[in-house]
């Protein structure tokens, strides 16, 4: 029996969830009593949901159980910055190899189409916006991050614009950045609304259990997963619990979950909006430095800030971590928008980027119809969506070039055990944060 010791927690005030139009709608029950299913999935984020949808398409008669410790939309899938990135992203930088980049692009755009289809077919109200994305630098020392991005874009003939400070002031409403590369096909949205909408769209043969942390697993010809007062028995079990995967005993020394934090302001007043953003379209920006700040001006006129990288082996944050992040968010916000220094942050929260050292994901067949998918390396809206989809194909023995690519690039490298992992990660993150300078 594998006992789970670390569990997902709420980690602050979850801005996207709280501002999501359907947040009070309950569509999952708590797991109580003995339940029987053909397939159980633990983890209802983008990965688990995509997997559940595809499994249901391929096996319309199967009884599929999908269980999460929190309510759908409260996990990391509902806490992120809301970018669905079409291009090979800096955080996701694998080999500098055109064939590799083209396949990542194909997989990412496949995920965007699939999520768009759910959004349209089920009228998911998630502020979906085909806004593109700016990758920007404030510091001269970080301009080289943009140059290497441009090399990837040119090699692959991806469309982009190279923008100067003056043009950025006009398009972003801030003169903070020296230069940015704009790429047109990134999607921005409220990630909690979208993930909840995708869950609501599940067909009737998928039964959702929310607020039901799995506390133990017994692996065998029938897998049993237990919550307090309930269990599910099934022949097939798939774990899509991301940063919590090692708790379930199948993946060891492969993951480096990095805590990061986000804040969302109250909505801007008409006068503030006119003063700073007159004629500016909502936008999303990531940093040329991997430890830099992500910023958005949202469709509902709020400003979103994400930064701070920390290693928390407990896999949860605390009020002091949240307070330190809030203080950094204030500094980053006021530097970019000095005229808005009077605005308060309505929400500040934390969540984990489930990193691997070589940026490859976990896509694992453990035998006995037991599988693990995880390690989305900070780009999980697109990556989790395609990994979940293709894990369903793998289980159903459906072959494709995409699945072959995923199988060939899912060998995450070894991470030393704690305390070495924690010490190493903290030194590295401190070093990266110092180097990011004013891009934080």
Ligand X SMILES: Cc1cc2nc3c(=O)[nH]c(=O)nc-3n(C[C@H](O)[C@H](O)[C@H](O)COP(=O)(O)OP(=O)(O)OC[C@H]3O[C@@H](n4cnc5c(N)ncnc54)[C@H](O)[C@@H]3O)c2cc1C
Residue 285 Cβ vs ligand X, minimum distance, rounded to whole Å = 11
Among 80, 250, 265, 433, binds ligand X (CB under 6 A): 80
Residue with the closest Cβ to ligand X? 380
Q: Does 405 bind ligand X (CB under 6 A)?
A: no
Among 126, 180, 238, 262, binds ligand X (CB under 6 A): 262
> Parallel, antiparallel, or unpaired: how do β-strands 230-234 and 33-36 relate?
parallel
Among 22, 94, 213, 249, binds ligand X (CB under 6 A): 213
Q: Does 185 bind ligand X (CB under 6 A)?
A: no
- For ligand X, which stretch binds (CB under 6 A), given 3-11, 14-22, 149-157, 164-172? 3-11
- For ligand X, which stretch binds (CB under 6 A), given 38-46, 126-134, 324-332, 415-423? 38-46
Q: Please give the residues from 374 up to 403 whose contact with ligand X meets the rule CB under 6 A.
A: 374, 376, 378-382, 384
Q: Does 7 bind ligand X (CB under 6 A)?
A: yes
Residue 279 Cβ vs ligand X, minimum distance, rounded to whole Å = 26
* Residues whose CB is less than 8 angstroms from the CB of residue 117 and which lie 6 or more positions away in sequence, other chains included: none
Tell me the number of residues near ligand X by CB under 6 A.
43
Q: Does 361 bind ligand X (CB under 6 A)?
A: no
* Alpha-carbon separation of residue 212 from 28, 50, 389, 424 (angstroms): 10, 20, 24, 34
User: Among residues 4 and 415, whose Cβ is nearest to ligand X?
Assistant: 4
Site string for ligand X, 216-245 (x = CB under 6 A): ------------------------xxx-x-
Among 90, 192, 260, 263, binds ligand X (CB under 6 A): 260
Residue 374 Cβ vs ligand X, minimum distance, rounded to whole Å = 6
Residue carrying the six token digits 């699939």: 114
Q: Does 76 bind ligand X (CB under 6 A)?
A: yes
Q: ∠ CA(400), CA(223), CA(402), 5° rounding?
A: 10
Q: ∠ CA(246), CA(252), CA(257), 5° rounding?
A: 55
Residue 358 Cβ vs ligand X, minimum distance, rounded to whole Å = 16
For 92, phi then psi, to 5°, come to -105, 15
* Alpha-carbon separation of residue 321 from 204, 293, 325, 350 (angstroms): 41, 17, 6, 9
Residue 400 Cβ vs ligand X, minimum distance, rounded to whole Å = 21
Q: Does 304 bind ligand X (CB under 6 A)?
A: no
User: Among residues 112 and 172, whose Cβ is nearest to ligand X?
Assistant: 112
Q: Does 67 bind ligand X (CB under 6 A)?
A: yes
User: Among residues 47 and 178, whose Cβ is nearest to ligand X?
Assistant: 47
* Residues whose CB is less than 8 angstroms from the CB of residue 168 and which lie 6 or more positions away in sequence, other chains included: 134, 136, 174, 175, 177, 179, 180
Residue 77 Cβ vs ligand X, minimum distance, rounded to whole Å = 3
Footprint of ligand X (CB under 6 A):
4, 7-8, 42-48, 67-70, 75-77, 79-83, 85, 213-214, 240-242, 244, 260, 262, 306, 351-353, 374, 376, 378-382, 384
């Amino acid at each position: 029996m594998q006992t789970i010791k670390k569990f997902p927690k709420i980690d602050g005030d979850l801005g996207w969830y709280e501002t999501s139009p359907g947040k009070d709608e309950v569509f999952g029950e708590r797991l109580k009593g003995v339940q029987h299913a053909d397939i159980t999935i633990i983890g209802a984020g983008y990965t688990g949901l995509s997997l559940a949808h595809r499994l249901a398409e391929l096996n319309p008669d199967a009884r599929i159980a999908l269980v999460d410790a929190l309510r759908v939309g409260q996990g990391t899938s509902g806490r992120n910055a809301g970018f669905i990135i079409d291009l090979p992203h800096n955080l996701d930088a694998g080999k500098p190899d055109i064939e590799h980049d083209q396949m990542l692009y194909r997989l990412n755009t496949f995920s965007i189409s699939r999520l768009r289809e759910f959004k349209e077919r089920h009228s998911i109200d998630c502020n979906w916006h085909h806004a593109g994305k700016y990758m920007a630098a404030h510091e001269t020392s970080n301009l080289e991050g943009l140059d290497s991005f441009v090399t990837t874009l040119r090699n692959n003939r991806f469309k982009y614009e190279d923008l100067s400070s003056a043009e950025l002031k006009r398009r972003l409403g801030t003169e903070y950045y020296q230069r940015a590369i704009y790429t047109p096909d990134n999607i921005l949205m409220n990630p909690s609304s979208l993930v909840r909408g995708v869950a609501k769209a599940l067909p009737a043969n998928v039964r959702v259990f929310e607020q039901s942390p799995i506390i133990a697993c017994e692996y065998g010809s029938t897998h049993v997963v237990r919550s307090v007062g309930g269990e599910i028995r099934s022949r097939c079990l798939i774990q899509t619990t991301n940063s919590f995967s090692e708790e379930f005993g199948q993946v060891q020394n492969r993951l480096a979950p990095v805590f990061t934090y986000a804040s969302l302001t109250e909505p801007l007043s008409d006068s503030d909006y006119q003063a700073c953003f007159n004629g500016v379209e909502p936008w999303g920006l990531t940093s040329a430095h991997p430890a830099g700040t992500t910023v958005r001006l949202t469709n509902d006129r709020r400003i979103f800030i994400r930064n701070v990288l920390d290693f928390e082996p407990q896999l949860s944050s605390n009020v002091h971590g949240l307070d330190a992040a809030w203080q950094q968010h204030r500094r980053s916000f006021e530097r970019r928008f000095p005229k808005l220094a009077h605005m308060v942050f309505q929400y500040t929260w934390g969540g984990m980027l489930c990193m691997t050292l070589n940026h490859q994901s976990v896509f694992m067949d453990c035998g006995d119809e037991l599988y693990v998918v995880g390690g989305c390396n900070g780009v999980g809206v697109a990556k989790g969506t395609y990994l979940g989809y293709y894990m369903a194909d793998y289980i159903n023995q459906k072959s494709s070039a995409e699945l072959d690519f995923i199988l060939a690039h899912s060998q995450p490298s070894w991470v030393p055990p704690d305390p070495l992992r924690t010490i190493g990660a903290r030194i590295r993150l401190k070093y990266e944060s110092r180097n990011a300078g004013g891009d934080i």
